[in-house]
Structure 1
Amino acid sequence: MSVIQDYLRRSQHILDVVSAQESAIAQAAQWFSETILAGRMVHVFGSGHSRIMVEEMWPRYGSFPGFNPIVELSLTFHNLVVGANGQRQAMFLENVPGLAERILRNFDLQPADTALVISSSGCNVVPIEMAELFQQRGIRVVAVVTQEHSDASTSKRADGKKLTDFSDLVLDTGAPVGDAMVLIPGLDTPVSPGSTVGGALLINCIKAETARLLTEAGQPPKVLTAGAIVGTERAVSLFESAYDEHARRLSGLYANTGRP
């Protein structure tokens, strides 16, 4: 078997793992649709490369308002790799206690909100504290982790607790321990991670089911759609109206910030 076919075969296994979680995915979508119908937002957070899943949820083609993407550049800006704003600093900062509280201090959180926290290992301090703080405010937390990798990993938090300890629902990307999935002859370390595959599948399954629930409730979402499908005029209208709705929803998260 070629290494290309090996990766594709392992990705098929990930697809099977995600498929087996249909009821849990539907539950997450139910919670998220309730939040959106209530005029509130689903807070989506990931540090490191988990940022990819935040952007996969919103905003991009086939996505719609109702999600608050919380992306801290200090934790996710990997392009320079070394030097100022490099990867070493980002990996250090995602394990600094108290940073999550400073991030969430910017928002007026309400129990009607929900949260999606993504962390492949579920062991870094900032995503764990994000989930803990959400739960302390009565907000349901859905976690996306790589279960096998999380089970085999040690939490960076002093008390040993992981993201799954502060989650109301846990979804598994289906990737293996260490994430990388392909062994190359003559190379003693595996390559080609799988959590992005599983994470994207989970995100878009949630998205599809949430859209179905919103539509059935009489509030079909404003979906960012290509002009090649709906024509240029309608595409522009959808983009503008979706961004306007996002702004209105987001303004509600700032209106009472800091007030008793």
Structure 2
Amino acid sequence: MTYDYPGLAKTAIDRLLKDQLKSVDAAADLVAAALLDDGVLQAFGTGHARLIVHELAGRAGGLIPVNLVRLQDVVFFGDRSPASILDPTLERDPGLAAEVLELAAPRPGDPWLIASNSGINGSVVELARLVREAGHPVIAVCSLAHSRTVPSRHPSGLRLPDLADLVIDNGAPPGDAALELPDGTRVGALSNLVGVVIVQLLTEGVARRMLAAGVTPPVYRSMNLPDGDRANAARLAAYGSRIRPIEP
């Protein structure tokens, strides 16, 4: 059998490197400056975009000063019951955003990376609005093609790109699935594939900027190597509760 997805994936990554590298560089400049000033990158996503922010946080080869922020935090770190977050459409509701932000407790100046393919759901837009209102810079990772062609689910009518200081476009088509089969069925989502490349570029870019500033980048060592736990514990101690475990 011949598969078309590898060609689509290569085209999507090539397009990212051609059209979005300036935005990635600008985001790396912003994040590196914040981390050099003792800041922490706050990373938020809902739905499948959570995979992108998971790729940023708590992983081997990733930057230590990244705090993973999720809707589930209202259960893990707040006082809500697990049943309160089981609705798969919860990301459409702006009501939890203020609670999520309060639990994240970012310091002034901490940048935020918010990932959402559509950029239209209420929780995403409301969190971006609150974060921007509080003076934090916002980096959005989304599909402009999708976001520009569907109505917002936030009462303001705003979308994530409207509230971002920097937008990195993942290039995914509306609906994300990029491969049409002979009967019209569409498969082959691109947003997470390209999103992972974006955050790995960002990680490399930030680390290189820190090195250029004479600072050893604070990076996780694999916990599955013999000295991983010891090395990570020493580096994490500098940030204390500002970085929460990805699996509490």
1:71: which partner in 2?
Answer: 70
- Give 3-state SS (helix, strand or coil) of 1:206's partner: helix
Q: Is 2:231 the partner of 1:232?
A: no
Contact kept in structure 1, 2:118 and 2:146, CA below 8 Å = yes
- Give 3-state SS (helix, strand or coil) of 1:105's partner: helix
- Give 3-state SS (helix, strand or coil) of 2:68's partner: strand
Q: Deviations over 1:115-161 (max 9, x none)?
A: 10000000001111111111111111000001111122211112321
Pairwise CA distance, 1:237: 3.1
Pairwise CA distance, 1:215: 1.6
- Give 3-state SS (helix, strand or coil) of 1:94's partner: helix
Give the Cα–Cα distance (whole angstroms) in 2 for the partners of residues 98 and 67 of structure 1.
25
- Give 3-state SS (helix, strand or coil) of 1:212's partner: helix
**Residue 142 of structure 2: which of 137, 141, 145 is its match?**
145
Q: Is 2:200 the partner of 1:201?
A: no
1:183: which partner in 2?
Answer: 180
Instruction: List gaps (5 residues or longer) in structure 2.
Output: 75-82
Give the Cα–Cα distance (whole angstroms) in 2 for the partners of residues 232 and 192 of structure 1.
38
Pairwise CA distance, 1:177: 1.6
Give the Cα–Cα distance (whole angstroms) in 2 for the partners of residues 226 and 68 of structure 1.
18
Q: Is 2:233 the partner of 1:220?
A: no
Give the Cα–Cα distance (whole angstroms) in 2 for the partners of residues 237 and 133 of structure 1.
37
- Give 3-state SS (helix, strand or coil) of 1:68's partner: strand
Contact kept in structure 2, 1:179 and 1:193, CA below 8 Å = yes
Contact kept in structure 2, 1:39 and 1:249, CA below 8 Å = no
Query: Normalized against structure 1, the TM-score is what?
Result: 0.82
Percentage of pairs with the same residue: 29
Amino acid at match of 1:239: N
Give the Cα–Cα distance (whole angstroms) in 2 for the partners of residues 115 and 74 of structure 1.
16
Give the Cα–Cα distance (whole angstroms) in 1 for the partners of residues 216 and 93 of structure 2.
40
Q: Deviations over 1:86-133 (max 9, x none)?
A: 86x131x21222311111122444442111000000000111111111
Instruction: List gaps (5 residues or longer) in structure 1.
Output: 76-83, 252-260
Contact kept in structure 2, 1:13 and 1:174, CA below 8 Å = no
1:15: which partner in 2?
Answer: 13
Give the Cα–Cα distance (whole angstroms) in 1 for the partners of residues 58 and 72 of structure 2.
17
Contact kept in structure 2, 1:110 and 1:138, CA below 8 Å = no
Contact kept in structure 1, 2:73 and 2:103, CA below 8 Å = no
Amino acid at match of 1:37: L
- Give 3-state SS (helix, strand or coil) of 1:44's partner: strand
Q: Deviations over 1:29-88 (max 9, x none)?
A: 11111111111211110011111011100111111211111022389xxxxxxxx6886x
Amino acid at match of 1:247: G
